[in-house]
Structure 1
Amino acid sequence: MKVTIINTGGTFNKRYNPIKGQLEVPADNIALEKIIASCFNVDFEIKTVVSKDSLDMTDSDREEICEAVKNTKNENIIIIHGTDTVHLTSALIKEQKIEKKIVFTGAMVPMSIDEVEATMNFSQALGFLNADVKNGTYISMHGVVVDCSKLVKDRQKGQFLIKE
């Protein structure tokens, strides 16, 4: 299977910068490369676009991500995105009615701090693409993969929940 990963940054990728004394989103793929090193039956293409915390993303950034999806020849796409505004970017892409399988994922805790959540969410997205699913725009977080309009971040609980 061939999968294109569009890495937009977000908490998934954050690392501590000891000089600045803060977490920052680097413009590299170190977190992803660590995960995909264990995937032996998948041909990955990684595209880095934007590289921001999703709270800092603009409408122009979302359009750039959308164009990257449209310009990707591959039908199977995973988008690494910050959890705070993943609903905005995924809604924009869903509106475009792109005939591909697009799965957004991310993490609420940086992979550099705790590898479990990011690895689980990414692996779940990858497994979903391996299944016989319809083209669409999905979010893979905290044990589920559903249409992007059906998952919401509950800031008080610190987790994603399926909308009722």
Structure 2
Amino acid sequence: MAFLIVQTGGTIDKDYPRSFGGYAFEIGEPAAPRVLKLGRVSFEYASCTVCRKDSQELTDADREKILQTCLEAKQKKILVTHGTDTMIQSALYLNKTAEKCEKIIIFTGAMKPEKFRDSDAQFNVGLAVGAMQVIEKPGAYVAMNGNVFHSSKVTRNRDTGIFCTI
């Protein structure tokens, strides 16, 4: 299975600041390829960066860049790493076009940076990659908290932060 990883930023890719005395994190190199290397995967994948933003800063222009990147990709299966705050909004933005173009696009992210020992990033990337291998219906999906949801059937509980079925 060959697929494309599209980095957009978010907590999953956050890294310690390069400047001294800083407390804010910055978006670093894509986490998903590091996770896949540790997992010793036996399939091919490519990786590209569309933007490196906190998802609350993403605009529809950014979502359009993500969409165009997915449409121009030769791969039919695409993993988008994304911040959790607006992940559902971005998945919905891409869904109709993904369905028409026969693409399977799976969004995932993390509640803590992948570089943290207790991060959920590795689990979520693994979940998304596993889902990519069995989902057959084109569209945009969200893989978080041990579940995979079609973008039209997912919400996020604002009290717990957990993604769940509508």
- TM-score, structure 2 as length reference: 0.90
**1:82-123 Cα distance to aligned partner (Å, 9 max, x none):** 110111111111132331111111111111224541111110
Q: In the comparison of the two structures, how many residue pairs are matched?
A: 161
Contact 1:83 1:153 in 2 (8 A): no
**1:117-160 Cα distance to aligned partner (Å, 9 max, x none):** 11111101111111152212111000111201212121211211
- CA 99–56 in structure 1, closer or farther in 2 if over 3 Å, else same: same
- Structure 2 stretches lacking a partner, 5+ long: none
For the pair 1:51 / 2:31, whether they are aligned, the reply is no
2:4 corresponds to which residue? 4
Range moving further from structure 2, 110-119 or 91-100: 110-119
**1:65-95 Cα distance to aligned partner (Å, 9 max, x none):** 0100100010111000111011111111113
Post-superposition shift, 1:5? 0.5
Post-superposition shift, 1:162? 1.4
Give the partner amino acid of 1:129. M
1:13 corresponds to which residue? 13
Give the partner amino acid of 2:23. G
Local SS of the residue matching 2:120: helix
- CA 15–64 in structure 1, closer or farther in 2 if over 3 Å, else same: same
Match of 1:139 among 138, 142, 152: 142
Contact 2:55 2:87 in 1 (8 A): yes
Contact 2:14 2:27 in 1 (8 A): yes
Give the alignment's Cα RMSD to 1 decimal.
1.5
- Structure 1 stretches lacking a partner, 5+ long: none
Give the partner amino acid of 1:22. A
State the alpha-carbon separation in 2 of the partners of residues 75 and 81 from structure 1.
Answer: 19
Give the partner amino acid of 1:101. I
2:76 corresponds to which residue? 75
Runs of 4+ aligned residues of structure 1 deviating over 3 Å after TM superposition are: none
Task: Report matched runs for 1:13-162 at 5 Å.
Answer: 13-17=13-17, 19=20, 20-26=22-28, 28-29=29-30, 31-37=31-37, 38-96=39-97, 97-114=100-117, 116-162=119-165
